[in-house]
Amino acid sequence: MGKAKKTRKFAMVKRMLNPNDIRLKENQLKQKKKEEEEKEKLVRRVPQVASSLFFAHNTALVPPYRVLIDTNFINFSLQNKLELVSGMMDCLYAKCIPCVTDCVMAELEKLGHRYRIALRSQHLQLGAQYNEVDGSLKVTALAYRPALKTDTVPQPTPLLAIFIQSHKELDSYKCGRPIIVDGHNLSIAAVTAASRYHATVALDQSSNVEARMNKSRDVITSKVLAGTSVYGVSTGFGGSADTRTDKPLLLGNALLQLLQSGVLPSSSKPLDALPLLDPVASTTMPESWVRGAILIRMNSLIRGHSGVRLELVKKMNDLLDADITPVVPLRGSISASGDLSPLSYVAGTVTGNPSIHVFDGPRTFGARAIRSSQDALAAHNIEPISLASKEHLGILNGTAFSASVAALALHDAVHLALLAQVCTAMGTEALAGTRGSFDPFIHDVARPHPGQIESAKLIWDLLEGSTFASTHEEEVKIEEDGGVLRQDRYPLRTSPQFIGPQIEDLLDSLKTITIECNSTTDNPLVDGETGKIHNGGNFQAMAVTNAMEKTRLSLHHLGKLLFSQCAELVNPTMNRGLPPSLAATDPSLDYHCKGVDIASAAYVAELGYLASPVSTHVQSAEMHNQAVNSMALVSARATINSLEVLSMLTASYLYALCQALDLRALQKELVEGLNQIASEELTNSFGRSLSASEHSSLVVKICRTMQDTLEGTSTMDASDRMHKIAASSTTLLVDFFTGPASFEDLAALGSTLACVPEFRANVTSRGTALLDTLRRDYLSGARGTAPASRYLNKTRPVYEFVRQTLGIRMHGSENFARFAKGLYVDDQSVGQNVSIIHEAIRDGKLQPVIVDLFD
């Protein structure tokens, strides 16, 4: 290729492209200056934002400051090409904790793994509440999980906070505060108070409530007068909705007639043959369910979407005030178009139908007297109501019974979930476990599931200051660690990971059922403002079904966990030195908790059966119109059964725990006593042959060996056990005295070794006497009614509630006396004691104790 000639034209082009051209440098300088100006502007803006922390009105703020990371922060960082991770680290250096809201979490997740690392600082879940009066928006923290240790006062975790608030609310209702029915603020605690404790119920007296109901009623009245076809007013029902009538009142009577078809006791006459089940309990709903359903139905109707009169709602309230409870069939509802059949009996009661019966009269242990609704209303001077058009359908087309049973179930389920965690803490103490399994690093930092964090924090707090539970496993040399279980078994160590998901499901269920209790579940719905009739399906109670399926499964998992802990507690190969079956006396004649262990297995097996879903058994009904239905009431009923079984299991475990804690306290005193005996007998037998340092060293070794033998001989009776414990020292003594520098005089060595049998015999006799004395003192009450209290800290109130408030003593006094007076003369049966604890759980007597642990 030819070489280009350096012509004049070539030189001109070269000058034009010269990189050192002054014009190019001027452009570059302009660009650089512009960038510096932009950067300077950015720097000037940052201090203005940061300095807002230190304005006069914020002088009360102290480190660490919590900086809210919202979408503005993200957009600002991205637009100005700022490194998000560095920005968050700058916050930390400035004693600020970045707080990430839920609404931002998804956006940050899209930015890749490196940004998710920054989110480990803290996650703050926020809730917002709009104030209609001043138009302000109040933002509150619903869950707080600090990864950095601060001096702030710890706040109750979500389920615990709900439990405490619910308990206080329930107490206020029991003390006379009325439950206000306004259609929007009915809580699970209010349902429980009205259902189980006969709290006062009052309707909201504000003018807008009555106006809202009147508008809704006027719509129905105008449609009837105009001859407009409205479902349930001029049409048939369900699959028969193609029929028409202009007689809405007769149509309502026909509706009640078809639905009041459940099976109930026909009389109270003496029975010719003993039934297989209780004739009332097996066919009739408990009164608490019915009272709750009436309250929830009132709350739904008062919302003004049903086209019924306020007078009807007042008449339903009269039933609650007079303690008149309709007798309602236990079975017969598929909860498709609501709980039609059960609610029809409420409708029959307010109208004074003589064929509809009620519970009335003074409270008794079993079912109250049954009489006709007509007679009961007359006895209480309540005038029966005549239902107007659509009111027949309005009172019974809803999910009130499903929601009532579900609300009552959840109230107790939350209590049992927290009690399960308290029992887990007590189980850690009884099994001499470690608090380290619940360390915040494992849960808050390493695997931050909300329920897991809550459970771990609760148990961690309960174990603070416990004598029986170690803080962390001590680090030792390999040669010192032989045969030692380095970590607790799964039922204790993984309990937060096991309980956590159940907490999350219960929180979801609580939210669902609270919404259901404050909803309109009719069809059709009436908009009083527009006059429009809406045909829909709010009566389909699948939301309740799902909540109950999750709750029931959670109850099973909690039961499985407690059963596993209980099985470990009574097993001498797993319980770290406690006697088999938690026998307080010689195990050859004491099998104390073996029956409890067997019963617990039966309970957890039944819980597994009950945990199966009900919704998978839905059948098409009512001319295939209700081809899908929820079976919500059946599912809620099954959940009540699960609660009953779990409460029995929990009572059994709590009974065993208190016995185990007493035995652990006795064991601790026994070890201390044996150590003293070993030291004294070593001096008595070998004092002239040992120096002070040799004596101290040998005592430590002998006591350690004896303690290991003590743990491995818990299945033996006292004398045999002490003989083996004393014999375990033989090898140590012989090795010590026959060591290379021990004795040069063989005669002196023989004389010393001849004292070994004496040492063993004295330790055996004194150890046996010590164990008998401790057993007598603990079982007779000489050490007090709650002898383990001095070794407990946060869990002590629950233990003392069982021992002192309920009066359940440590078991074994009759076994210790070799049944000298016979069986159950000086003591109650194991079943009676467990039953007392079960009743305390069932009747809510234990709830204040649990609240006081944390509040």
Active site residues: 231
- The conformation of residue 568, written as its DSSP 8-state character, comes to H
Gap between the Cα atoms of 806 and 790, Å rounded: 19
Exposure string (b/e) for 697-728, b if CB count within 10 Å is 16 or more?
ebbeebbebbbebbebbbebebeebbbbbbbb
* C-alpha torsion 325→331→335→337, nearest 10: -80
Other residues' Cβ atoms within 10 Å of the Cβ of residue 835: 15
CB 502 within 8 Å of CB 550: no
Single out the residue of 379, 351, 376, 381 nearest to residue 260, CA to CA. 351
CB of 407 closer than 8 Å to CB of 188: yes
347: closest CA among 369, 373, 368? 373
Handedness of CA 736, 738, 743, 746 (dihedral sign): positive
d(CA 60, CA 54): 9
The neighbour count for residue 742, using CB atoms within 10 Å, is 14
DSSP label of 272: S
Residue 787 near residue 649, CB atoms below 8 Å:
no
Which residues are CB-neighbours of 231 under 8 A, at least 6 positions away?
241, 523, 524, 533, 535
**CA distance linking residue 843 with residue 170, whole number of Å:** 13
d(CA 133, CA 462): 42
Give me the long-range contacts of 624-627 (CB less than 8 A, separation at least 24): 624/239, 625/238, 625/239, 626/238, 626/334, 626/336, 626/337
DSSP states of 128-155:
EEE-TTT--EEEEEEEEEESS--SSPPP
Query: Cβ neighbours of residue 302 under 8 Å, at least 6 residues apart?
Result: 181, 182, 183, 203, 204, 209, 213, 310, 313
Residue 228: other Cβ atoms inside 10 A: 13
733, 756 contact by CB (below 8 A): yes
Q: List the beta bridge partners of residue 621.
A: 626
8-state DSSP, 587: G
Q: How far is CA 236 from CA 232, 242, 254, in A?
A: 6, 6, 10
Query: What is d(CA 830, CA 581) in angstroms, rounded to the nearest whole number?
Result: 12
Give the largest CA-CA distance in the chain: 133
Which DSSP symbol is given to 763?
H
Q: Is the dihedral of CA 115, 117, 120, 121 positive or negative?
A: negative
Instruction: Read off the tokens for 238.
Output: 């369900």
Angle between helical axes of 450-462 and 847-854 (0-180°, round to 10): 90
Terminal Cα-to-Cα distance of the chain (whole angstroms) = 95
8 A C-beta contact, residue 537 and residue 205: no
Coil, strand, or helix at residue 693? helix
Phi, psi at residue 586, to the nearest 5°? -55, 125
Q: CA–CA distance from 647 to each of 164, 403, 505, 622 (Å)?
A: 20, 22, 19, 38
